[in-house]
Amino acid sequence: MIWYTLRMKPSLIIVGLGNPGASYERTRHNAGFRALDALSNAFGVGEWQEKQKFLSTAQEGRIVTVPILLVKPQTYMNSSGEAVQKLIAFYKLDPAQLLVVSDDVDLPLGTIRLRKKGGPGTHNGLKSIVERLGEGFPRVRLGLGTAAAGSDLAAWVLSVPPPEEEKVLQSAIETLPELVKKFVLEGAEQ
C-alpha cells in the first residue's frame, strides 16, 4: 500500500516533551520524545521534518482515518509552550485537540496516566504549556518513579536510567500506540 502525505489540517496534534540533541536522547526526561518515536512507528507517514515556524520537528500521520501531527518541540523542555502555542495558533485548533506526552517523577516507574485536563504538577514542560494555553488539554504521563532521597532531581531526570529501569520504561512506551488509538477513536472517557 502506498501512503500519501496528508497535507491537511490535523484533527489532533500529539506533542512529546523532551530536549533536543544527542546528549539528552536516552535520558529519563526524554520519555516524551521516545513515546513519539513509538507513535511514529505505528502511525507516521513520511519522514520527520524540521519545522522552524513551529520551533519543532514534525511528522504527519494517520490513526485509521484521523489525520494527526506528531511533534517534538526543539525549544528545550522549559520552553515547550512556545512551540505548542505556535502550532495551535497556526492550525486554529482548540487546546482539547492537543495530546501532550511527558515524563512524570510523581508516578511509579512504568505507570501511564491519561487525563483530559489538569494542572502541570511539578513538570516544567507542562507548566510552560499551561501558562500559554491553560489546563484544558489532554495529557499522557509516563511514570519515571522517584529519585533517591537527597539526590538532585534535575540531575536525576537528565541522567540515563540503568538497564532494569530502562526495560520497564520501554515496555510502557510500547503500549502507547494502542492507548492513543483508543483515545482517538473512543475519546478520553474510555
Q: What are phi and psi of 134, to 5 degrees?
A: 85, -175
What the block records as the C-alpha cell of 97 is: 485537540
Element (H, E) at 12: strand 12-16
Sheet architecture: strand order including 112-115: 44-51, 56-63, 66-73, 12-16, 98-104, 139-143, 112-115
In 44-169, the DSSP E strands lie at 44-51, 56-63, 66-73, 98-104, 112-115, 139-143
Respond yes or no: is residue 29 known to be catalytic.
Answer: yes
124-133 helix and 80-91 helix, angle to the nearest 10 degrees: 40
Which residue is catalytic, options 19, 27, 29, 126?
A: 29
**Residue written as grid cell 501512503:** 3
**Alpha-carbon torsion (122, 166, 148, 115), positive or negative:** positive
Q: How far apart are CA 90 and CA 27, in angstroms?
A: 31
Active-site residues, by number, are 29
